[in-house]
Amino acid sequence: MTIITNGRLITPEGEVRASLAMKDGKIVRIGEMTPSPDDEVIDAAGCLVYPGFIDGHTHLDLPVAGTVTADDFASGTTAAVAGGTTTVVDFATQYKGDDVLNALKTWKEKAEGKARANYAFHMAICDWNEQVRRDLPALREEGVTSFKVYMAYDTALTDEQILDVLTEVKKFGGVTGCHCENGGLVTALQKQYLAAGHTDTSAHPLSRPAEVEAEAVNRFCYLGRLADAPINIVHLSTELGLHEVRRAREAAGCGGLSAHGISGGFRIYVESCPQYMLFDDSVYALPDFEGAKYVCSPPLRKPSDIAALKGAVMSGEIDTIATDHCSFRFDTQKQAGREDFTKIPNGAPGIEHRPAVFMKIFGDALTPSDYMRLLSENPAKVFGMFPRKGALIEEADADVVVWDPEDAWTISAANQHQRVDYTPFEGMTVSGRAKYVFVNGILAAKDGEPTAAVAGQYIRR
Ligand SMILES: [Zn+2]
């Protein structure tokens, strides 16, 4: 057995001072215990012990915009475990003409044998048809319980199709997420700015204003309400969008996780990401094309949006914190848009730094139990993995992070494991580091460095 002693365990019931024993990939005991000479003992004095953190929104090995994301499942999950994330939920993507079962097979092959963190897949449905409808039960059997639709990009579905997806997914208790931006409006605004000769990165946020998100959030909430199905709004970035969520929750008398928990009917879950609570859109005016490092969609917003999102985290209106990790090299891939901001691959890295950065943003304003819920328990619940994941309880999987809240260090591209030549958080000093990270009971990282173990498994939900 491996026994973690002297730590403060952050359990579903609150903080507990006890030892935790792991064996054969499971948490076998929590309580007082005397280690035998055969046991490996991890001293967690001065540390918090969390259930492994779960990133519910990553894009690894994703072909997009004529290129492929810089991180694949090997480098992406190496970075994940280095930062304390033991499970990622990535997006298997069904392209036009493909079927969803084949898409899942493709993504499983991308990850198999390479992943240091556990992995599951949402299915991004980009070509809705009768075949996909027939395949959904089989996909459910393969362990896929969460889905994603787009309202923007060439992967967008129509409102009618989204309603159909919501209705079908609801039948087996799944949840559907949506990239809420009105793609038609984005295209129109991009054309306007380009025609006016406004081709640099500062046009990126102008072409995707808050209204574009809020309108889509509003529409997705109504679609969820019509289908009486649970929905997940991914990467919420604006105060205006938040108002739409509040209005819709109030009108239907339904909250997110904190208000009502999980159920099959209409629920609005909300995800946001640390970058939207840290940076504002002034970064897009940086010289030397530096703004391209922050080109993601939705874009970074105004200080007032940052304040609104932070308030929503504090009030429990935001259920989960993910990264939307989608990395592209600055020296090569991002350069594709030097003359035309619409050609910059959209996305930024973050899979390694989410726990430390999020805790830096909120500090003592949130408790360790709040961090545990937002970074682990809630994503496990929304995506059908609780309590096997997301909880320090006996019989749960032994995904465990021993977190040293006093370990101060500086985030830099020079010390990261993400396979990309920059980080948006360059130079940020954080206090808190994953001291020991266990994936299925196996030590996957220590003091921010991965071990040789490749212990990640596919999670059939
Ligand atoms: Zn995304």
Span 151-167, pLDDT tens digits: 998 899 999 999 999 99
- Nearest-angstrom CA–CA distance, 119 and 332: 28
**Ligand 1 mean position, distance from CA 347 (Å):** 8
* Cα–Cα nearest to 51, from 7, 92, 91: 7
**Ligand 1 mean position, distance from CA 326 (Å):** 7
**Ligand 1 mean position, distance from CA 323 (Å):** 8
Backbone dihedral region for residue 288 (phi beyond 0: left; psi -120 to 50: alpha; all else: beta):
left
**Ligand 1 mean position, distance from CA 328 (Å):** 13
pLDDT per position as a tens digit, 141-150 = 999 999 999 9
Residue type (1 letter), 66: G
**Ligand 1 mean position, distance from CA 394 (Å):** 33
**Ligand 1 mean position, distance from CA 346 (Å):** 9
What domains, with CATH codes, occur in the chain?
2-49+393-406+428-450 (2.30.40.10), 53-382 (3.20.20.140)
Question: In the chain, how long is the greatest CA-to-CA distance?
Answer: 74
Two tokens, residue 443: 């030590």
- Nearest-angstrom CA–CA distance, 364 and 206: 35
Question: Distance between the two ends of the chain, CA-based, in angstroms?
Answer: 27
- Nearest-angstrom CA–CA distance, 225 and 252: 8
- Nearest-angstrom CA–CA distance, 440 and 452: 14
**Ligand 1 mean position, distance from CA 148 (Å):** 10
- Nearest-angstrom CA–CA distance, 114 and 117: 9
pLDDT per position as a tens digit, 12-32 = 999 999 999 999 999 999 999
Strand-strand pairing, 8-11 and 48-51:
parallel
**Ligand 1 mean position, distance from CA 155 (Å):** 12
pLDDT per position as a tens digit, 186-240 = 999 999 999 999 999 999 999 999 999 999 999 999 999 999 999 999 999 999 9
Buried b (16+ CB within 10 A) or exposed e, 118-154: bbbbbbbbbbbeeebeebbeebbebebbbbbbbbbbe
**Ligand 1 mean position, distance from CA 205 (Å):** 17
| Distance from chain centroid for Cα 83 | 14
pLDDT per position as a tens digit, 257-285 = 866 566 678 999 999 999 999 999 999 99
**Ligand 1 mean position, distance from CA 90 (Å):** 9
- Nearest-angstrom CA–CA distance, 323 and 354: 7
Percent of residues, the chain, with pLDDT higher than 70: 98
Two tokens, residue 87: 């499970």
**Ligand 1 mean position, distance from CA 179 (Å):** 7
Q: Report whether pLDDT(93) > 90.
A: yes
Q: Report whether pLDDT(430) > 70.
A: yes
Contact in structure between 338 and 293 (CB atoms under 8 Å): no
**Ligand 1 mean position, distance from CA 58 (Å):** 6
pLDDT per position as a tens digit, 44-78 = 999 999 999 999 999 999 998 899 999 999 999 99
Helix axes 354-362 and 73-83, enclosed angle (nearest 10): 40
What does pTM read for this prediction? 0.97
- Over its C-alpha atoms, the chain yields an Rg (Å, rounded) of 21
**Ligand 1 mean position, distance from CA 204 (Å):** 17
**Ligand 1 mean position, distance from CA 190 (Å):** 20
**Ligand 1 mean position, distance from CA 364 (Å):** 29
Two tokens, residue 331: 């020296």
**Ligand 1 mean position, distance from CA 53 (Å):** 18
**Ligand 1 mean position, distance from CA 150 (Å):** 10
**Ligand 1 mean position, distance from CA 371 (Å):** 22
Find the helix or strand (DSSP H, E) in which 139 lies.
Answer: helix 130-141
Across the chain, mean pLDDT equals 96
